Amino acid sequence: MLGPSLSQGPKTDSIAFVIEAAAEQGAGLKALSAKGNVLKWSDYCLPLACSPGRPFRVVAEASVDNFSRLGVAFMEDRLWLDNGLVPEKIVSVLLRESTLKAFAGRSVLIRGAQAETRSLELQEPPEDRSLFQSPCRASEEGTGAAIGSASGQDRGCPPADAAAADAGLDGRRRMGAGEQHAEGCHLHLSSCHECLELESSTILSVKFASMENIPDLPDDYEGGRGESGGRSVPGQGRRFNQKPPNVLVYTGGCQERFKHVHALLAECINTDSYVLYPLRPQQVLSEPWLDSTLLLVLAEEEPLTAQHHERFLAYLERGGKLLGLCSSFCAAGLSLAPGPDRRNGVCQLVFTRADCTEVELSALASGHVFVRGDSPAEMWGELRGGSGGMAVVRMTHGDNGGEAVLCQVHLEAAPDSHDVTSPQDFDELKASNALRYEVLSEILSCLGLSCERSHVPPPSPIYVLSSSEECRRCFLEWLQTQVGQGGVLRASRISLKVLPGVESPGALPGGTLALVTQPPQRLPPQFSLETYSLHLRTRTLGRCVLFAETTPSTMDLLEGLMLQLPQEVGLIAIAARQTEGRGRAGNAWLSPLGCAMFTVHMRVPVSSRLGQSIPFLQHLAALAVVEAVRTLPGYEEIDLTVKWPNDIYYGSLMKLGGVLVNSTLMGATFHLLIGCGFNVSNSNPTICINDLVERQNRQRGSALEPLDTSLLIARSVSLLEDLIASFQDGGPQAVLPLYYKRWVHSGTQVRLQSEDGPQVEVVGLDDNGFLQVRSAELGVVSVHPDGNSFDMLRNLVVTKQR
């Protein structure tokens, strides 16, 4: 940790300073990332406290050298705050020793991205929990957190009189002694509600500590945003609203609904930059949340009380941002009327993007639409069919930049919501699920939030695991013969630094990953070697495991090894998360937690039946995944299918997995890497296997358990080895009956080449694994997957442009 210890008081070789940020997150981050060599401020100083108002200010302390580094980075526009804001001023200040003692006595520390976290003992909260408590006044003994300005003039503590506070702080509410913590003077966190909601007595991450009497810097910032003549999107010059990063969700006190909305928002916004809290009905009128909230989400269908409605209007008048999700909230001139679709029925929403293109998706209707009246609200979405109606509107309110986007379709409702009762509705909503996230993310972005995923986790160590000590020993003996100078094994895409123990590898060069030969004391919860070993029943495939919690690509791990690997090793690479997953034809494959992701190595003689029909291997791998689920007792009716040439589907509706095979011919042998990824428990943004399990439980009253990635990987590899053996013994006819039982194409009418091409009927696969179609004019012809892609939605086989 850089900077002095809090308990030692200020050092003579350190500088205290105030840093002020007032730039938009989206635009600022994009500008910084374009410059490269960005300096994160918390790596070079000790943050002491912050004032999360307008503008955002932080007090920190740094050594002279580090302060110089910060200054140079500031002058070169390379300085970045941890919450994504871009600093606009840095001013050195005098920091009294009593202030540091006060900080030390309270054991509170702001944690930077790389800084050590301290724990804070919490008292049992009282029943009447305040959402936002006030900062504390200086104590009688003079240990208050007073900070001297650069000129030496001390600023006092917040006045007790609220009116005086308002006048002195640009209208921001300041609270006096009558509203302090009952236990005494505690350094205030960004929201005391954050403390009170913690389930343990240890703060794992104290992101923001606030002290309202941080000195004002010379005022050359004109905050806020002007009148908007159109839709603003991040990165287009719009000022970021300098409020604390609190997003409040009002659900009328329904905790279950809050959990659903919280989970949805957490998947859309950058959760490293925002904190989500519930706003309870009793807090709406009593708590000072209006000036401490970046976004208010109203997700309660019941009519609002007049007092709550006025309170939410007051929030907008102060420049707040509001998202309404089927709420009765309306501003002047806007009203609700019965809509053409029944409540919780599936409707068609046509949403207009910021670039004026339209997207149509299915969503649950609220039963209401907006009536504009004399309101200047902009229509962003309307219902299609029937009498239609305005379903998404954007409006401004007040003179301080207040803005609201109001929806009368349930963008917060997932396809597996309890309000979805029919299988047809489930299928229709699942098909639009990715678009639902796209629409919601655009709305949130337009309201000033960052929806860019901020952090790509660094690669984690790769561990050598095996249920067979003989396989593991064979691999390690081979590995010893391959490593070069410095214990590095160099491959085509990556290099592996071989480490004999589980100690930290330290900093490694770019493109180099740590390969640890000893298993860790504990594997992450996403993979169980015990479960994998229990369900693996192969002779060779998958017997030796390279496991990484996070890696660029499992294919990359094996690509440089496959030509030298002994056949008897049966090496498989498994990852809980991939950051650079690859699909067919160079497509990217999203690989979040909840996916099963693996690449397995094998050899096939060219002279064998499979060696003469290598394209069949991708079909066998996809079929193995489907069979891994549908041969489990109780799971036989899970609607998992194969789609030519290499996809795993839910029915014929949507993709949830795929296969990629890389082959290299050396002499008389094919060296093959079979990469596979499929969604097991990650419901969003499309669908996963456990969604189908839950759907069957609801439809049939069954109680099937969710499936585990380790189990399904082991079963898939085992069944793949069985299918390969069957093919080698009996050729295509040994496996095609089962393949046709699981595929989605029998009897499908398609057109070749284009929408005006000849209409043909899909009849099966030829001996090489290519699609066969029949027409009266052409007879039976084969369609090569490398030249065509199958468009299920339009029933076309479309020739790709070369």
Average model confidence (pLDDT) across the chain = 74
Judge whether 457 lies within some domain: no
Q: Mark whether 714 and 777 lie in a shared domain.
A: no
Tens of pLDDT along 373-399? 887 889 999 998 756 789 999 999 888
Query: In terms of domains, do 291 and 377 share one?
Result: yes
Q: Note whether residue 130 is domain-resident.
A: no
Does one domain contain both 404 and 502? no
Query: Does 140 fall in a domain?
Result: no
Q: Report pLDDT digits (tens) over 154-169.
A: 333 333 333 333 333 3
Pick 83 or 403 by higher pLDDT: 403
DSSP character string of 357-402: -EEEEEEEE-SEEEE-TT--PEEEEEE-STT--EEEEEEEETTTTE
pLDDT tops 60 at residue 545? yes
Top pLDDT among 136 and 643 is at: 643
Find residue 774's DSSP bridge partners: 761, 780
Residue 52 pLDDT greater than 70, yes or no = no
Of residues 71 and 76, more confidence is placed in 71
What per-residue confidence (pLDDT) applies to 159? 34
Which of these three, 85, 110, 135, is where a domain ends?
110
Under 8 Å between Cβ of 715 and 750: no
pLDDT tens digits for range 614-623? 999 999 999 9
Separation CA 323–CA 703 (nearest Å):
37
User: Are 735 and 788 contained in the same domain?
Assistant: no
> Residue 155's closest CA among 164, 144, 166?
144
Sign of CA dihedral 706, 711, 716, 719: negative
Indicate if 263 and 300 belong to the same structural domain. yes
Last residue within a domain, chosen from 703, 721, 742:
742
737 & 761 share domain: no
Residue after which a domain boundary falls, among 43, 76, 110 = 110
Q: Give the pLDDT score at 214.
A: 37
For residues 440 and 550, state if they share a domain: no
What CATH number is associated with residue 523?
3.30.930.10
Residue 84's pLDDT band (cuts 50, 70, 90): low
Q: Are strands 46-51 and 56-63 parallel, antiparallel or unpaired?
A: antiparallel
Number of domains in the chain: 4
At residue 406, does pLDDT exceed 50? yes
Angle between helices 255-268 and 433-446 (to 10 degrees): 80
337 vs 220, more confident: 337
The whole-number pLDDT of residue 583 equals 53
CA 470/CA 128 separation, integer angstroms = 63
Q: Between 257 and 593, where is the model more confident?
A: 257
Q: Is residue 95 pLDDT above 80, yes or no?
A: no
* pLDDT reading at 134 higher than 80: no
pLDDT digits (tens, 9 = 90+) for 761-800: 888 998 888 888 888 777 888 876 444 344 443 444 533 3
Task: Evaluate whether 702 touches 636 at the Cβ level (below 8 Å).
Answer: no
- Do 134 and 188 form a contact (C-beta atoms < 8 A)? yes
pLDDT for res 685:
62
Calculate mean pLDDT across residues 335-350: 87
Q: Is the model's pLDDT at 124 over the cut of 70?
A: no
3-class DSSP state of 18: strand
| Residue 87 structure tokens | 């600093």
pLDDT digits (tens, 9 = 90+) for 513-529: 888 988 888 898 999 99
> Torsions phi, psi of 700, nearest 5?
-110, 0
CATH number of the domain bearing residue 319: 3.40.50.880
Would residue 546 count as lying in a domain?
Answer: yes
Find all residues with CB under 8 Å of 570, minimum gap 6, and list them.
Answer: 471, 538, 540, 541, 542, 543, 544, 600, 601, 602
Residue 741: partners with Cβ closer than 8 Å, 6 or more residues away: none
Q: Please report whether residue 236 resides in a domain.
A: no
d(CA 708, CA 688): 12
- Radius of gyration, CA atoms only, the chain: 30
Least confident of 71-80, 137-146, 482-491: 137-146
Q: Are 765 and 771 in contact (CB under 8 A)?
A: yes
Segment 711-724 shows an average pLDDT of 97
Asked whether the beta carbons of 285 and 307 are under 8 A apart, the reply is: yes
Asked if omega into 785 is within 30° of 0 (cis), the reply is no
Assigned domain for 176 exists? no
pLDDT of residue 503: 61
Is pLDDT larger for residue 496 or for residue 561?
A: 496
Q: What's 134's DSSP letter?
A: P
Q: Retrieve residue 531's tokens.
A: 């479960």
Ranked by mean pLDDT, the top range of 301-315, 406-420, 468-482 is 301-315
Most confident stretch, 6-15, 490-499, 555-564, 622-631: 622-631
81 and 63 belong to one structural domain: yes
H/E run at residue 337: strand 335-338
389 shares a domain with 373? yes
Predicted pLDDT at 246: 83
3-state secondary structure of 489: strand
Distance CA 491, CA 489 (A): 7
Q: So what's the pLDDT on residue 271? A: 67
Q: Compute the distance between CA of residue 603 and CA of residue 669 in angstroms, rounded to an integer.
A: 7
**Boundaries of domain holding 57:** 14-26+33-110
Instruction: Answer with the residue of higher pLDDT: 802 or 665.
Output: 665
Interval 40-57 mean pLDDT: 76
Do residues 427 and 322 share a domain?
A: yes
- Is residue 441 located within the same domain as residue 572? no
| Of 57-66, 211-220, 355-364, the least confident | 211-220
